[in-house]
Each structure stands twice: as structure tokens, then as C-alpha cells.
Amino acid sequence: MRQWQWIATIIAVLILTGSVTPMHAMDRKYIFFPDPTLHANPNAAGLTFEEVYFPAADGVRLHGWFLPGKTGRPLLLFAHGNAGNISHRIDNLAHFHRLGLSVFIFDYRGYGQSEGQISEVGSYEDIRGALAWLKSKGWTPKQMLYFGRSLGAAVALQLALEEPPAGLVLESAFTSVPRMGWHHQPITYALLGWWALSSRYDNLAKIGQLQCPLLMFQGTRDTIVPPKMAQQLFDRAPEPKTLYLIPDAGHNNTYDVGGKPYWEQWRSFLNSLTFPPR
């Protein structure tokens, strides 16, 4: 029997025995890890904020927080990673507040108080809705930075291709879901992953189309997203661009380990950009 017939037979057996679930269910099992409960709000860090409910581009009801910054400073549109919800990012919000930035952070569908079920297509609709809400308040993309961490890097990148901001910041970004599958579970992915996972988030195929300045952060000891992926993305991206490798940082402790030099990179990037007045 040819190799592809063996693979087809294995998949059929797994489906019949219930070992394989439908594509989107597999995505929710292996890619997305939402927490429906908010555990705190920005008041816990002494931050003023506005509770926001807004529609995604396809109408799903979403939830987020808007934190006002200093007058004349830009806005940061924050796309978080694949786990938890916005209440797990309050420390990040406090740091951005110290930079004087206004911040809009939102939960994808199925996360926190946002309705619906998460998917790759849905996450793009969600950030489009977030941008539409900001536009309704008088902000334009050229008055913004888009910031995406991990999974959020893929979401922020997609929006940057559609509505270029003043600058894009990607942290702990991966090249694509298939390449992550091959890296972590090559045999399993070869047999099932290509078939069972619907999400692709193909950042490597997209980043060459970018039309705004780019800043990338990557921990050198990231065991989730291999650092070589950041280099591959950086090599494919057009100028102007900066890649800052954070010595000894893992996937989720970039700014803690990076310390003052990390935030100096943020300030330098901000100072290099021109933001039109509101």
C-alpha cells in the first residue's frame, strides 16, 4: 500500500474511533486557550480606563478596555496572545501607561467577556472591529502603533497589511502554525496536523507585504517559538525594521528579563516615528 493510503487509513480509523475531532475543535484544543473569567481590571494598577463593548467586523459582540494616555501621544492597539484574557495583561498596560500611550486592548471572541468562538478568521474580524471602534472615536491608523504578542503578532500583522499604522511591534512572533507543528511534533503533525488544524496564521508569507516601520522582540531562550523564526520573519520583512534579541528571555517574560534596555527600544522606536495630531 502506498504511503498516502496508509495515512488515509490511519486518519479514517482515528475519525471512526473518535480520536480526531473536527478542525475548529482541534484548533481550540491545541492553539487557543481562552479564559472566560476576568480576574482584575486596570484599577488594580491604579489606571483609569473605560469599559468598552463593540462589534467585530462580522457583528460578534466583543469586550475591551480603553486607557487614555497623555495628550498628543499616540495610541497602542494591543493584540494579546493565545491564552487567558485581557485581565492577564494589566502589568503590560501599566508599562505602556508610563510611556504616555493611550491603549486599547480587547479580547478575541470566546475570551473573557467577548462572545462567540475563536478561529483564525474570527480573530481578524475582531481586530478589524477594534480598529473601527477607534476610528469612531477619532483615531486614525497613522496615529497608532499596532502591538501583537505571540498569536497576537499574527493578528496585528494582518491588520497592518490592510490598514497600515505608523508602526508595528511584534513580540515572540512565529512564522506559521504549520511550521510550529513541524517544530514541536513533527511526526504527529505529519500524520494529522495538516489535516486536523484549520488555522494557518502564515506570517512568513505575509510579512514581505508590510508597508510600515517594524520593531520585533524575541527572547533567546524562548522554548515555545524558536528564535530562528523571528530571524526568518525579520529577513523577509522590508525596511525600515529592527530586531531586538533579549538575552535569556523566554516566551512570556520578555519585558521582565529585558528590563530597561527593552523599554529603551520602545522609546527609540516611538521617537523615530511621526504621528499626525488628532
| Own/partner pairs, 132-137, CB within 8 angstroms, 24+ separation | 132/54, 132/55, 132/57, 133/52, 133/54, 133/64, 133/104, 134/75, 134/77, 134/104
Please check whether residue 278 lies inside any domain of the structure. no
Please check whether residue 1 lies inside any domain of the structure. no
CB atoms within 10 A of CB 121: 11
Calculate ∠ Cα 63-55-70, nearest 5°: 60
Residue type, 215: L
- Identify the pLDDT of residue 1: 40
Please check whether residue 169 lies inside any domain of the structure. no
Residue owning grid cell 524562548: 222
200 vs 112: CA distance, rounded Å: 23
Please check whether residue 126 lies inside any domain of the structure. yes
Please check whether residue 255 lies inside any domain of the structure. yes
Per the DSSP assignment, residues forming a β-bridge with 77 are: 104, 146
Please check whether residue 14 lies inside any domain of the structure. no
Residues in the chain: 278
Q: Which spans in 58-119 are helix H?
A: 90-98
For residue 62, give the nearest of 111, 131, 120, 119 by alpha carbon. 111
Rg (CA), the chain: 19
270: region left, alpha or beta (phi > 0 left; psi from -120 to 50 alpha): alpha
Residue 197 DSSP one-character state? -
Write the burial class of residue 178 (CB in 10 Å: 0-12 exposed, 13-18 middle, 19+ buried): middle
The tens-digit pLDDT sequence of the chain (278 residues) is 444 444 444 444 444 444 444 444 555 566 899 999 999 999 999 999 999 999 999 999 999 999 999 999 999 999 999 999 999 999 999 999 999 999 999 999 999 999 999 999 999 999 999 999 999 999 999 999 999 999 999 999 999 999 999 999 999 999 998 888 766 666 665 655 555 566 789 999 999 999 999 999 999 999 999 999 999 999 999 999 999 999 999 999 999 999 999 999 999 999 999 999 98
- Identify the pLDDT of residue 177: 86
Torsion sign across C-alpha atoms 250, 254, 257, 261: positive
**Residue-range definition of the domain harbouring residue 226:** 24-150+178-272
- Identify the pLDDT of residue 225: 95
- Identify the pLDDT of residue 262: 98
Close Cβ partners of 63 (under 8 Å, ≥ 6 residues apart): 51, 52, 53, 86, 106, 107, 112, 113, 114
| Own/partner pairs, 87-90, CB within 8 angstroms, 24+ separation | 87/37, 87/38, 87/39, 87/40, 87/41, 87/112, 88/35, 88/39, 90/40, 90/41, 90/42, 90/44, 90/45, 90/47
Please check whether residue 6 lies inside any domain of the structure. no
28 vs 22: CA distance, rounded Å: 10
Please check whether residue 10 lies inside any domain of the structure. no
**Structurally, how many domains does the chain consist of?**
1
End-to-end CA gap in the chain: 67
CATH code (residue 209): 3.40.50.1820
